[in-house]
Chains A and B, each alone.
Chain A
Amino acid sequence: MANYRETIAKNVAPLLKDGDFVNLGVGIPTLVGNFLPEGVDIILHGENGSAGIRGRLAENVYEDADTFLEWERTHKGEMTDYTVGHKDLLDAGSRPITLVPGACNFDIVTSFTMPRGGHLDKTVLGAMQVAQNGDLANWLVPGQMATGMGGAMDILAGTKTVIIATTLTAKNGKPKLLRECTLPLTAVKCVSTVVTEKCIAEIRDERFHIVSMYPGVTEQEIREAIDADVIFDDNMQIMVE
């Protein structure tokens, strides 16, 4: 399990189906696009106003202000080639992106109508804590650097399926899957599935149902890492390595 981030992303990918309209959060979720099976074509939502993102530019034009300014000078104004990039074509992290054929751009009200109105099929987000009733905390640790909730609360308010891509425990070894979240919540009862580097847990009937495990990981190991009610599925699957 050398690269746990890739392991998590590889195991989220099969949960996305052909034609799904999906928002991917920052961090591990953005890697998921790299592992989609052949023939699976999803429409990626960017909350700043895109449906049909291909990805960030291969070349790093965002290294420093001078490099970006130079790139902007040659990718601006009338120029219209969404496969090459434009200074006004960025993702939610302010990085230049390209689009796929059939993509479209829109304003912020339209953009949030999509998740909140139930038009977005799935979202993949990171987490600090997930509770067994589906509560999610992923935006604020009191006393630490504040960043704001961004669009996460709105996306969670209406998106049909919420997939969490996260490590099973925090960096300090403490469980992230809990009976109740102790951090400020992002949304209540919203999480469907949690994909970690050691197991995949579905949330049903206010319990974590472990449906898949990474090769070599024991039930004991998972029980010790989750501070909540856990049920191991009879038809246990093996996670992708």
Chain B
Amino acid sequence: MKNKVITIDKAMTFVKDGSSLMMTGFGQSGSPRHLIRALSKTDVKNLHTISDDLGVAEHGFDQTISALVNNKQISKAECCFIGQNPEASRQYIEGTLDIDFIPMGTFAERIRAGGAGIGGFYTKTGIGTVVEEGKETKVINGEKYLLELPLRADVAFLHAYKADKAGNAIFKYTARNYNTIMATAADTVILEAEKIVEIGDIEPDEVQLPGVFVDYVVEAEEDIL
């Protein structure tokens, strides 16, 4: 199988001004901090991000997506929760950061649809709320549902604890979160791994993310938060 390992500098060349970018992570957990930190050092701007949240900024944690928010590299964000990053709220209220808030389960399922070749789905989440506004609705088995459409991105950043050079990956505990679905829903999928092993070193039945979804693998440095 093909060795997909590239340098982090090479990985940065796939993200361009105006790119749509999926990033895994639920707050700190499973966040591709190494790729994000490298991106925060580039002058790429006008990003359209698709991520659970916009990072954790409290107590000096600024290596999650909050680093990109602080640099004002994001102009449009689709996410679920920004309660742990007051700077994102500030930019949103100021009008410099456009945010589309999406209910988390719907957000996950839209990404899944985007990666699975599904053209949309009906859900009860958001019925009777602002989320329903402008959406097609349908009564199914006597209950009202609303139509949600798939989400895709140009590039996805993922984070695994362990991967082989072909991109087969394993996650620890709650770090799995969006990794398994975002890997399927972007044109270019870049996986950072804390530990990279040889092809064949991971038992096939222990793989949580099939390497076929991964385009490139980057080694994550050890010492950053």
Contact = CB atoms under 8 A, between A and B. Distances in A.
Contacts of B104: 47, 108, 112, 149-151, 154
A153 B173 contact: no
B60 A65 contact: yes
Interface residues of B, number: 56
B176 A49 contact: yes
A145 interface: yes
Contact of A46 (B81, B125, B174, B180): B174
Interface string A144-178: 01111111111101100000000000000000000
Contact of B125 (A73, A92, A116): A116
A50 B80 contact: no
A221 interface: no
B130 A116 contact: no
Nearest to B104: A151
Contacts of B191: none
Contacts of A112: 104-105, 108-109
A49 B26 contact: yes
Interface residues of A, number: 53
A46 B175 CA distance: 12
B79 interface: yes
Contacts of A89: 29, 172-174
B122 to A, nearest CB: 12
A187 interface: yes
A141 interface: no
A145 to B, nearest CB: 5
A93 B29 CA distance: 10
B80 A146 contact: no
Contact of B171 (A64, A88, A158): A88
Interface of B: 26-30, 52-53, 56, 59-62, 79-84, 86, 89, 92-93, 99, 101, 103-106, 108-109, 112, 123-131, 161, 171-181, 194-195, 223, 225
13 contacts: A66-B60, A76-B194, A90-B29, A94-B28, A108-B52, A111-B108, A146-B82, A146-B93, A146-B99, A149-B80, A153-B131, A184-B130, A187-B128
